[in-house]
Structure 1
Amino acid sequence: MSNLIRNLEASLNRGFINQQHQDSGNYKPKLLINNAKKSENVLTTLIDELESCKSFIFSVAFITESGLATLKSYLYDLHLKGIKGRILTSTFLNFNQPKVFRELMKLTNVEVRLADLKGFHSKGYIFNKDTHYSLIVGSSNLTAQALKVNYEWNVKLTSHENGELVHHFKNQFEEVWEKSRILTEEWIAEYEKKYVDVNNHVIQNVLEMPSQYQTNSIEEAINIVPNKMQQAALEQIQSLREAGNDKGLIISATGTGKTYLSAFDVRRFNPKRMLFIVHREQILKKAKADFKKLLGGLEEDFGILSGSQKQTNARYLFATIQTISKDDVLSRFSEDEFDYILVDEVHKAGASSYQKVMNYFTPTFLLGMTATPERTDDFNIYGLFDYNIAYEIRLQEALEEDMLCPFHYFGVTDIEYNGKLIDDSAVLSHLITEERVNHIIEKINYYGFSGESVKGLIFCSRKEEAGKLSAAINERGFRTVALTGDHTQEEREMRVNQLENGTLDYILTVDIFNEGIDIPCINQVVMLRQTQSSIIFIQQLGRGLRKHTSKDYVTIIDFIGNYKNNYLIPIALSGDKSQNKDNIRRRTKDTSYIKGVSTVNFEEIAKKQIFKSINNSRLTELRLIREAFVELENKIGKTPYLHDFILNHSIDPAVLVDGSKPYKLNYHQFLLKMTKEVSPLTDYENKVLTMVTQEILEGKRKHEIILLEKLMNHKKVSYEDYISQLQLSNCSTDEKTLNSIQRIFNLSFFNQVSREKYGQKPIINLNAGYFTYNEDIEKSLQNNEYFKFLIMDVIRCAKEKNKEYSCDRELTLYEKYSRKDVCKLLNWDNDETSTMFGYKTKHQTCPIFITYHKNDEIESSVKYGDEFLSQEIIKWFTRSNRTLSSQEVKTIIQARKNNIDLHFFVKKDDDEGTEFYYLGKGLPDEDSVKQSTMEDGKPVVYMNMIMENAIDSKLYNYIINENVE
């Protein structure tokens, strides 16, 4: 019987007969739903199936541009592989708009037909694999809402190629397909003539329309109410004032309504006079109009101070910093002229002009607003506002709250020149070749935009490129213009107006539109430059995130060349500042962290460029760590400690104290490296802190954390009390685990080198039924508050990190462990890392470690052919020079009979460091055991390992795909 059929039978047994069936199979029926809290959605499975299929057919009544956009990069990659598909859709209820049919025509590897069937309302997806078919059938149409957000029920089924069910579906499809119309440009033109837009309320759950916040009528001003973010921010600003603070900082993603927020607060504060400071004249009129809409009042109450307009007597004065900072203008006002001052884009406040104005006035309350307070000019914006962060909402949270226009980001590969990808050193002539211009146009056409006509921004790497590209694109029928810092404010305003009213398609620029510009109608942002910083990346992406009635989403097209900073792209999109390479790789492959209907997509070649950049980057070098340290120090206004990095979603504390260098043994040593003045530690205190840091910080077992914390609060803890606390925390209390805890704290688990590093003496003793710290530690805790604080800091971090781990079992699926962790958590007496190698059997357990992608330079004697045959089967090789008669091999083959637990751990490659993902337990398929030879001629045994749990698809796909070509 083939593995596939055996697997299918097990899956059917588990799915339809007995959910407790021991062998779950990899193909069990699965309910697909959208669950934002768990980052689960129908789209993820749909993409997984697309990426591994040989062909596909979709039968979906409703398709939206946004829904199609979620698959475009994957369909493009399939096109490059020569894989084709068919889509059967309809004109049912006039839901499908003419434009979506034009988008479907762009898919050169997909044939589309229109069902000539009354009431066509099917929703099914069938994927042809090598040996079987996958089906997704249920309630989800091909819309972004249905695939990512709506409450949907879909069932994923797997069938053998000879199965009756799949043939029934296919036959139904073929029957309708043969009678259907072929989608053509001529048909679309006729459809456009008679198309009547569907009432947006007919089918609520599949709409892609963004909710509207702004109201256009002044008469409706009274109906403008704060959104969810603004309500929370207003409460916190008021709390700041009530606590006696006269300053506050709002950190809010671009497009989340900061101007309205400030107007709401001004309305509540009701100042005698207000000053609103901006750095661009373009913003003034819009801000003034928004305030007037919300506050009401006479026209003369609202004035502008900029250039030739000097309405200095207005109650609500809107001024550019360039004008109000002039001596002759500033001197016209008394120091207490304004009781409420607002500073927009306040991250610029380090400039002398801002400092001059802010030092001059003494308002009752000062409010600063910015989307990016982190600066590269060493000026501390947080300190300027006494570290009073009134409210903070970043990109991910804003998307989750539906405060921004959804976006579909596409990381696409840039053009090659003479066989070499565009890189950091590309000369101008290579950036404007006919081939590159054609490539750019091909991509912006393929990925498209939402709305009737494109209104795009293109960010270039240099002024000359912007000008020459604009000219070249115009020769191909587009209407574009280049704008740089050399152009006047009047020219910029005129060009923005042309873009808004449809007489321009694109504005090409370098950096002048990174911030301080509000063009809500933007529906396409194109990035033709390398990512220099995550701050600038988010600023440029943010240009399209304002909601507008003319668009359902914004398309972001990022041309990714051979740039060393490509690793910043997944960092910026995910907001992950951990500096953990593996985290960043997974954020590139698994983009389910993006909330709402937004998606992040990378073409395969572009993805490999990012992986290459991650591999070559030095994310934990001292310079980058120092920057993260200073940034957090600026934010909280004091020296940060380990737990502060967790609280503020900054760098992973484990990166700061990973033990790789002397200053990374513990945080005291790290602070000394940062040249911070700290209280002294004795040599022994330093060693104890090192032990707690290196062994407890990661929080992989709760037992040690509970005991440490209890002893910090009590001089001694009874054995019974400790057991009770473990039971309350749902932790295992078997004798082996409890003995393991003691061996950790009396240091007998560790090798001699580690014991010396940790101070030799037992840290915790168990005498007469009580746990106590040793005498030296007890004295230090009483006499050195700094030492006590550092230990508690580690414990707090460990408690936070432990939330990812289960306490009632030894190991947690899909978490990462080192060989030493595994020895510890499997309750081995000693750390046997040095003799573990690929696997070792001991104490009725056998951990097996697999490095999936071997280094090309690895010796042939250890270049094993381990591979996943499926999400449930691993083809595994023993060490070389082993035969079927070797005792260690026999022991593993007979693991079930010998009652030995085989635990499997895998890492993608050696660049991931010393930790492996835990895949769970497995057992050998004894029929698959065979002996072979290695490249060097030595014998080796291999066998198929059947996993107890099918490997999570996201992790599986991440592991099996190579990072670089």
Structure 2
Amino acid sequence: MEQLIRKIESSLYKGFIDQNKPVSAQFKPKLLTNKNHESVLSTLLQELKTCNTFTFSVAFITEGGLATLKTMLYDLKLKGIKGRILTSTFLNFNQPKMFKELLKLENIEVRLTGEKGFHSKGYIFEHTDYYSLIVGSSNLTDSALKANYEWNVFLTSLENGEIINHFKNQFEDAWNAAIPLTEEWINSYNQHFELQPFIKQLTGNTFQINEKYLTNQLAESLSVQPNKMQSVALQQIKELRETGANKGLIISATGTGKTYLSAFDVRNFAPKKMLFVVHREQILKKAMQDYRKILGGNEDDYGILSGNSKAVDAKYLFATIQTLSRDQYLQEFTKDHFDYVLVDEVHKAGADSYLKVMNYFEPEFLLGMTATPERTDGFNIYELFDYNIAYEIRLQAALEEDMLCPFHYFGVTDFEKDGEIVDDATELRNLVSNERVRHIIEKINYYGHSGDQVKGLMFCSSKEEAKNLSISLNNAGLKTTALTGDNTQDEREDAIQKLEKGRLEYILTVDIFNEGIDIPFLNQIVMLRQTQSSIIFIQQLGRGLRKHDSKEYVTIIDFIGNYKNNYLIPIALSGDQSMNKDNVRRRTVNTDYIQGVSTINFEEIAKKKIFDAINNTNLSTLKTLKDAYLEVKNRLGRIPTLFDFIEQNSLDPEVIVGYSENYYKFLVKMKEEIPSLSDYEQAILTMISKEFLNGKRMHEVILIQELLKEQAISKESYLAKLNDYGTYVDEATIQSVENIFALNFFVQNDVKKYGGKAIIELINGTYQFNEELQESLRDSNFSSYLEDIVKCAYIKKEKYEKSIPFTLYEKYSRRDVCRLFNWEKNEEGTLNGGRIKNGTCPIFVNYHKNEEDSDTNYLDEFLSNDLFQWCSTKNRTVMAKDINPIIHSTENGVDVHLFVKKHNGEGKDFYYLGPVNVESESASNQQIEDAGVQYGVVTMNMVLESPVQYDIYHYLVEE
């Protein structure tokens, strides 16, 4: 307790007296504004995760606000953590359905205050020895917690603090005077709840005029205008045509208005005849309606060519590919009959029917549109359009531009029985068992939906599951139907109409609704199958992302079982195609990358299933890498460089190098016909790729870059270049750089692999490549490989600090640490635990040791997010010659740095958690057991200079 008091006292001093005081920032008062990557929501979740109980006093609550917390509240319920919420009916903001959502929270007691003008916004969390408090402007709404510019103060207090007691007393007074929330109260409130038709409640704390109401009133006098994305796209299409191009490709996320965009461009182009090609008649009719809104004109100007209509003379013809591709219809048109041809869902254009039509017509301009141009069959969509990407906007950018309906994604645990969770081998009878049906209903009810009535789409793993599960759900009281490829188009349209009118609650399907269908009123998407590809995942999620007046957001409920492809979920949600395992883990741990008010939430057990899949899966198989390689090559129309993969948000160059040692070898494996390189040239490529591509230290990269420009550079000029770049410069680092290029740093096997002789030499104060390398660099092909690595390293460096060797929360191997600490030799093979060398001491910790790692129960443990108990290796005492100096490192001026990884499944790299100060008085001799034998170890407490940020901390600590 005394230590806690000191921490809070020093944090308050830093927060209220001197911001420059060098103390722990764990309890520092701070302002939460939803800016600079620290949202109110992330702090709220952090406090909930670690509290013993909590109390909210908030005037306004929305369903979206509750949705952001539901996964955390569910996990807290499993741990027995309870809380209280006090709210009101002030200004009739809180809607009846929101109160019903509150009643679903079994571990939350809710009361309603009758306090006049109740407008409080406070969140209190009781921890084991202290309280934390968030108070300010944020109500419990998704906008206020994540998107709006808010002002909230975060404070920490001991139980006897006056401020916390004042808040607690005020709350208790209001709580005791309030009435409990009940079903009966909600029914009564619902009867009196009225909302004027021209007022729309926002998810924040204010009101605005209802756009729908005004639009309905003014529709007669207003014409449809392009949105922001469409305006930019139209300009880019115009500029593309001005270059003489007669083809263009639009890549635009589902729901962003591709059809309207194409209609606006047709209006600009003003063709005499236009053809719009789709693959389904249902889409065709909707497209024609949208075009009439934009283009106007007589009804006779528009016609359909499909199985049921043959209006071939129409000015604006909308045709299904199935009908148009038949010779009897295609031959009715001359090749130049249409000035302008549009092909929707053009990623299907590899099919013979599409190619037949596209090769036949010769319009003045051909426009293709798709949300997902990626293909796995090797067909090059981009080539069809002469590699002209007229415009591109993907999911993340579309969310940021507020073009799509926000979503709240919930990764939930699939049904578990007798310790076994649903996997890809689960029999159908278990997938549709009464127990699983109850589990599904429990989850879809708990996570809910926006709007008055659920209008959901469930994706199943097979036709049989869809049909049988629909029957089981109906027997349980739901209104559902199953649609598969066996159903006719009329049956599909009938089911969609029933869903819209409320006569159905869910449509269960396999994959016929993945794309090419517009159901904007959907407010819940349920995924009951494993993720087979990130493309299909986004297609299915995208079914609910169209905006609609009946919903504020769409709920995505993803049932996560024991599926080997679970790692695809964070890849799909983030759009990170790097195949870098650390990136994928980070996208699972921290989901702040999602834009706007949308959120991504994983139940703890479901999250562990994803981590298991990441650890147990090889993300860099030949097939995975080849598919990604061909995608980039097809998009560019040439052999890509490593840097191209970065620009195209594709494979991480480090993954490529990890697979093939260097890019030349990778291209050979891709069976590209390229100029050959000598064995020595390949060795140099391997060395520079393996050691410097990662950008963790730029000193070597800058020297290579300068020598690629000129054959030699003086040491003085080199040091000036380093200073210009803004990195740290000291003699030890420069000696380390020289030592590495002389290959003196490396073990013998690496020396041989890297060519066996010094790469860069310092002669008379001047650096230069060795003679053999200088000769090789006269070949522009070889030098281009090196230049490519240098470009990649500069981009990679952006996530690392320039002015210091290590960056908090980035990952480093033992080899990296030896190099960045300027050690003369790479000692990674013998570097276990901790070792003092040259005034520095790295501490390496494998936090969760699996049985195969060790039978020994070591005592490494986080005592808090800024206090770590370190355990030495076996057979050590406090007086051991390699332990005692670490104990007294602070007084001896030794810099101790902590590196931690969750377990060996993460590979060789450790998270850098920063400098630590060893509390020498905490060091003590302990005993551990290994195979029944007792061994002596030493434990000591290490105080981190920077408390570990909560997402990394909980990831490392949790089993």
TM-score by length of 2: 0.97
Alpha-carbon contact 1:274-1:340 (below 8 Å) kept: yes
Give the residue type in structure 1 aligned to 2:490. Answer: E
Give the match's secondary structure for 2:898: strand
Alpha-carbon contact 1:869-1:875 (below 8 Å) kept: yes
Q: Following the alignment from structure 1 to structure 2, what is the Cα–Cα distance between the partners of residues 854 and 506?
A: 45
> 1:188 matched to which residue of 2?
186
Unmatched 5+ stretches in structure 2: none
1:365 matched to 2:395: no
Give the residue type in structure 1 aligned to 2:411. Answer: G
User: Which among 891, 907, 926 is matched to residue 897 of structure 1?
Assistant: 891
Query: What's the CA shift string for 1:275-294, capped at 9, x where partnerless?
Result: 10000111111111111111
Alpha-carbon contact 1:848-1:905 (below 8 Å) kept: yes
Q: Following the alignment from structure 1 to structure 2, what is the Cα–Cα distance between the partners of residues 952 and 521?
A: 39
Spell out the pairing of 1:834-845 with structure 2 (5 A cutoff). Answer: 834-845=829-840
Q: Which moved more, 1:11-20 or 1:111-120?
A: 11-20
Question: How far is the alpha carbon of 1:94 from its aligned partner?
Answer: 0.9
Give the residue type in structure 1 aligned to 2:817. Answer: V
Give the residue type in structure 1 aligned to 2:553. Answer: Y
Question: How far is the alpha carbon of 1:80 from its aligned partner?
Answer: 1.3
Question: How far is the alpha carbon of 1:215 from its aligned partner?
Answer: 6.3
Alpha-carbon contact 2:55-2:85 (below 8 Å) kept: yes
Give the match's secondary structure for 1:156: strand
> 1:206 matched to which residue of 2?
205
1:690 matched to 2:689: no
> 1:120 matched to which residue of 2?
118
Alpha-carbon contact 1:64-1:208 (below 8 Å) kept: no
The structure-2 alpha-carbon separation of the partners of 1:427 and 1:484, relative to structure 1 and needing over 3 Å to count, comes to same
Q: Following the alignment from structure 2 to structure 1, what is the Cα–Cα distance between the partners of residues 875 and 151?
A: 52
Give the match's secondary structure for 2:591: coil
1:953 matched to 2:947: no
> 2:79 matched to which residue of 1?
81
Alpha-carbon contact 2:809-2:913 (below 8 Å) kept: yes
Question: How far is the alpha carbon of 1:218 from its aligned partner?
Answer: 10
Query: What's the CA shift string for 1:282-308, capped at 9, x where partnerless?
Result: 111111111111112111111111122
Q: Following the alignment from structure 2 to structure 1, what is the Cα–Cα distance between the partners of residues 700 and 221?
A: 59
Give the match's secondary structure for 2:925: strand
Question: How far is the alpha carbon of 1:858 from its aligned partner?
Answer: 3.1
Q: Following the alignment from structure 1 to structure 2, what is the Cα–Cα distance between the partners of residues 423 and 165?
A: 51
> 1:819 matched to which residue of 2?
814
Alpha-carbon contact 2:410-2:603 (below 8 Å) kept: yes
Q: Which moved more, 1:815-824 or 1:768-777?
A: 768-777
Alpha-carbon contact 2:615-2:906 (below 8 Å) kept: no
Spell out the pairing of 1:620-699 with structure 2 (5 A cutoff). Answer: 620-658=620-658, 664-699=660-695
Spell out the pairing of 1:841-856 with structure 2 (5 A cutoff). Answer: 841-856=836-851
Alpha-carbon contact 1:95-1:197 (below 8 Å) kept: no
> 2:740 matched to which residue of 1?
744
Q: Following the alignment from structure 1 to structure 2, what is the Cα–Cα distance between the partners of residues 722 and 774?
A: 17
Spell out the pairing of 1:765-914 with structure 2 (5 A cutoff). Answer: 765-782=761-778, 784-860=779-855, 863-914=857-908
Give the residue type in structure 1 aligned to 2:939. Answer: Y
> 1:395 matched to which residue of 2?
395
Alpha-carbon contact 2:560-2:566 (below 8 Å) kept: yes
The structure-2 alpha-carbon separation of the partners of 1:295 and 1:518, relative to structure 1 and needing over 3 Å to count, comes to same
The structure-2 alpha-carbon separation of the partners of 1:215 and 1:498, relative to structure 1 and needing over 3 Å to count, comes to farther
Q: Following the alignment from structure 2 to structure 1, what is the Cα–Cα distance between the partners of residues 852 and 185?
A: 58
> 1:517 matched to which residue of 2?
517
Question: How far is the alpha carbon of 1:222 from its aligned partner?
Answer: 5.6
The structure-2 alpha-carbon separation of the partners of 1:422 and 1:221, relative to structure 1 and needing over 3 Å to count, comes to farther
Question: How far is the alpha carbon of 1:585 from its aligned partner?
Answer: 2.1
Question: How far is the alpha carbon of 1:376 from its aligned partner?
Answer: 2.6
Question: How far is the alpha carbon of 1:378 from its aligned partner?
Answer: 2.7
Query: What's the CA shift string for 1:373-422, capped at 9, x where partnerless?
Result: 11233322122212211122111111111110000111111212444212
Question: How far is the alpha carbon of 1:207 from its aligned partner?
Answer: 6.2
Alpha-carbon contact 1:214-1:224 (below 8 Å) kept: no
> 1:260 matched to which residue of 2?
260
> 2:700 matched to which residue of 1?
704
The structure-2 alpha-carbon separation of the partners of 1:218 and 1:267, relative to structure 1 and needing over 3 Å to count, comes to farther
> 1:405 matched to which residue of 2?
405
Q: Following the alignment from structure 1 to structure 2, what is the Cα–Cα distance between the partners of residues 668 and 916?
A: 29
The structure-2 alpha-carbon separation of the partners of 1:731 and 1:231, relative to structure 1 and needing over 3 Å to count, comes to same
The structure-2 alpha-carbon separation of the partners of 1:131 and 1:464, relative to structure 1 and needing over 3 Å to count, comes to same
> 1:240 matched to which residue of 2?
240
Give the match's secondary structure for 2:304: strand
1:466 matched to 2:466: yes
1:918 matched to 2:916: no
Give the match's secondary structure for 1:71: helix
Unmatched 5+ stretches in structure 1: none
Alpha-carbon contact 2:24-2:866 (below 8 Å) kept: no
Give the residue type in structure 2 aligned to 1:774. Answer: N
Give the residue type in structure 2 aligned to 1:876. Answer: W
Spell out the pairing of 1:301-380 with structure 2 (5 A cutoff). Answer: 301-380=301-380
Give the match's secondary structure for 1:917: strand
Alpha-carbon contact 1:66-1:208 (below 8 Å) kept: no
Give the match's secondary structure for 2:188: helix
Q: Following the alignment from structure 1 to structure 2, what is the Cα–Cα distance between the partners of residues 227 and 958?
A: 41
Question: How far is the alpha carbon of 1:502 from its aligned partner?
Answer: 2.2
Give the residue type in structure 2 aligned to 1:400. Answer: E
Q: For this pair of structures, how many residues does the alignment match? A: 954
Q: Which moved more, 1:102-111 or 1:223-232?
A: 223-232
Give the residue type in structure 2 aligned to 1:798. Answer: A
Alpha-carbon contact 1:53-1:129 (below 8 Å) kept: yes
Question: How far is the alpha carbon of 1:860 from its aligned partner?
Answer: 4.2
> 1:250 matched to which residue of 2?
250
Question: How far is the alpha carbon of 1:53 from its aligned partner?
Answer: 1.4
Alpha-carbon contact 1:222-1:294 (below 8 Å) kept: no
Question: How far is the alpha carbon of 1:118 from its aligned partner?
Answer: 0.5
Question: How far is the alpha carbon of 1:180 from its aligned partner?
Answer: 0.2
Query: What's the CA shift string for 1:701-727, capped at 9, x where partnerless?
Result: 122222211211122222222222221
> 1:612 matched to which residue of 2?
612
> 1:725 matched to which residue of 2?
721
CA RMSD of aligned residues (A): 1.9
> 1:155 matched to which residue of 2?
153
Alpha-carbon contact 2:521-2:548 (below 8 Å) kept: yes
Question: How far is the alpha carbon of 1:441 from its aligned partner?
Answer: 1.4
User: Which among 37, 42, 45 is matched to residue 43 of structure 2?
Assistant: 45
Alpha-carbon contact 1:580-1:652 (below 8 Å) kept: yes
> 1:288 matched to which residue of 2?
288
Question: How far is the alpha carbon of 1:202 from its aligned partner?
Answer: 7.7
Question: How far is the alpha carbon of 1:590 from its aligned partner?
Answer: 1.5
Query: What's the CA shift string for 1:502-561, capped at 9, x where partnerless?
Result: 222111111111111101111011111111111111111100000011100001111112
Alpha-carbon contact 1:860-1:934 (below 8 Å) kept: no
Give the residue type in structure 2 aligned to 1:897. Answer: E
Query: What's the CA shift string for 1:185-206, capped at 9, x where partnerless?
Result: 1111111111122774687843
Q: Which moved more, 1:478-487 or 1:791-800?
A: 478-487
Give the match's secondary structure for 2:458: strand
The structure-2 alpha-carbon separation of the partners of 1:876 and 1:212, relative to structure 1 and needing over 3 Å to count, comes to farther
Give the match's secondary structure for 2:55: strand
Give the residue type in structure 2 aligned to 1:811. Answer: F
Q: Following the alignment from structure 2 to structure 1, what is the Cα–Cα distance between the partners of residues 530 and 347?
A: 23
Alpha-carbon contact 2:916-2:944 (below 8 Å) kept: yes
Q: Aligned residues: percent identity?
A: 59
Question: How far is the alpha carbon of 1:766 from its aligned partner?
Answer: 2.1
Give the residue type in structure 2 aligned to 1:258. Answer: K
TM-score by length of 1: 0.96
Alpha-carbon contact 2:711-2:769 (below 8 Å) kept: yes
